[in-house]
Amino acid sequence: MEQINGPLQMEHALLFSFLEVSSDCKFKDQLHSLQSQQIMLYQGSDDDELQTDGNRSGHFRNGDVGLAPTNEEVIRIIAAQLAEIGDQLDKEIQERVVNGLVQHFMNENLSNEEITRHMSRVVRELIQAIPSDMEQEKAMLVLAMVLTKKIVNTVPFLLRRVFDTTVNYMNRQFHNYIVDMLGE
């Protein structure tokens, strides 16, 4: 699994791996295409120059495009475990909830920030309605990733916007939890 470098690397890798191993993920080809585009966009070290378009310059560094192999494997294992939990939670999410999120993502007048706030609200509401014996942060993280899968299964062309929004949401809400979970 090739990965990007940067501040969202763990979240990106975890969501990608989760979607890759999730059952009923109908957009795996598009997911791999998105992954390739992300690698080219974000490659480079933290000391790369910021370009005028706001992106860091992208280039290959001695062919090194990924996480350390041990981290990569840990992410794959954890993503597979979370995907199993996600398959159980998937059944609890009503179609109207997914359709509401789809409408928000399709509304080009809404900023990513507004969509992220709405997604956060939906996750908080779902966590209240779904009985779970697991820790709340884990359940919320899994719900966010399952919602991503369900939204993109419904409207595949939203993949990039939904994926990027979810990665940012995961970074804001669960970064420390993800770091602890991955043992980094």
For the residues of 44-67, what is the DSSP string, one character each? S-TTSPBPTTSPBP---BTTB-S-
CA dist 100 and 103 (Å) reads 5
Please give the structure tokens belonging to residue 154. Answer: 């419904």
Between 38 and 35, the higher pLDDT residue: 35
Q: Which amino acid is at 15?
A: L
Q: What is the mean pLDDT of the chain?
A: 83
Instruction: Please report whether residue 2 resides in a domain.
Output: no
* Polymer length of the chain: 184
Kindly provide the residue ranges of all beta strands, DSSP E only, lying in the chain, ordered along the sequence: none
**Structural domain range at position 16:** 9-182
Instruction: Please report whether residue 91 resides in a domain.
Output: yes
- Residue 61: pLDDT band with limits 50, 70, 90: very low
**Tens of pLDDT, residues 128-139:** 987 778 899 999
Instruction: Please report whether residue 4 resides in a domain.
Output: no
**Tens of pLDDT, residues 116-126:** 999 999 999 99
What CATH number is attached to the domain comprising 114? 1.10.437
Instruction: Please report whether residue 3 resides in a domain.
Output: no
CA dist 1 and 17 (Å) reads 8
Give, in degrees to the nearest 5, the angle at Cα 163 between 113 and 79.
125
Given this model, what pLDDT does residue 101 score?
Answer: 97
CB 114 within 8 A of CB 102: no
Instruction: Please report whether residue 164 resides in a domain.
Output: yes
To the nearest whole percent, how much of the chain has pLDDT over 90? 61
Query: In degrees rounded to 5, what are phi and psi of residue 172?
Result: -70, -45
Instruction: Please report whether residue 77 resides in a domain.
Output: yes
CA dist 102 and 159 (Å) reads 11
Given this model, what pLDDT does residue 174 score?
Answer: 95
Query: In degrees rounded to 5, what are phi and psi of residue 62?
Result: 50, 35
Please give the structure tokens belonging to residue 94. Answer: 């009503």
Instruction: Please report whether residue 67 resides in a domain.
Output: yes
Give, in degrees to the nearest 5, the angle at Cα 172 between 12 and 77.
40
Give how many domains the chain has, as a whole number: 1
Please, which residues have CB within 8 angstroms of residue 129's CB and are 6 or more apart in sequence? 92
Task: Indicate whether 159 pLDDT > 90.
Answer: yes
pTM exceeding the 0.75 threshold for the entire prediction? yes
